[in-house]
Structure 1
């Protein structure tokens, strides 16, 4: 199954504050193999804007440290799966661990 996974990053590492990241690493996978990588600049932070922005880029899944409940709802309404509580790793390392089920997702670190 093909996926396009978005990770909020700062200097290539997961940015734990999803809504205020500087960039998104977009990583395309086929099965468990990474087939393409892209770095896109995040638009200015406006509540509710990021979920449709990423959905329009073809994102199927988001790996994040923390995210507000409303953003998760909007992603789900746009058929994008959200996984929160991700560890602060390099984007490619995070995706590889996600695909191989070798990393642990903890509690959502966003409380607003």
Structure 2
């Protein structure tokens, strides 16, 4: 099974579609077989669900994702896990252990490129 994590400088990105890259981890029988980071090829409606589905991804882990994007991923049989923060390595380990907890999406209506943050705020 493969998981994809929206990535920004080693941490889970606040917004899946605008992240600089995705970390893709291949997991089998509770072990991480391979981890690779790929550049985000672009943010266009329905493009990323197709792009990740073609790579065999079954879960997309991110800080935030809009409702429409969640529906598009579901159509591709990819489960969104939203509201996640932390270092990529720790997130992968928690996922493997079954201890990864989802939360509330950081993407709110009107958040746009601000990732749901107020001006001057930072969230790793």
Aligned counterparts, 1:21-100, within 5 A:
21-87=19-85, 89-100=86-97
Separation in 2, partners of 1:46, 1:103: 28
Separation in 1, partners of 2:53, 2:70: 12
Separation in 1, partners of 2:90, 2:40: 21
User: Structure 1 stretches of 5 or more lacking a match?
Assistant: none
CA RMSD of aligned residues (A): 1.2
C-alpha offsets along residues 25-77 of structure 1, whole Å, 9 cap, x if unaligned?
00000122111011111112212211111111111111111101111111111
Where do 4+ consecutive residues of structure 1 move more than 6 Å? none
User: Structure 2 stretches of 5 or more lacking a match?
Assistant: 110-124
Structure showing greater Rg: 2
SS of equivalent to 2:90: helix
Report whether the alignment pairs 1:105 with 2:102: yes
SS of equivalent to 2:46: coil
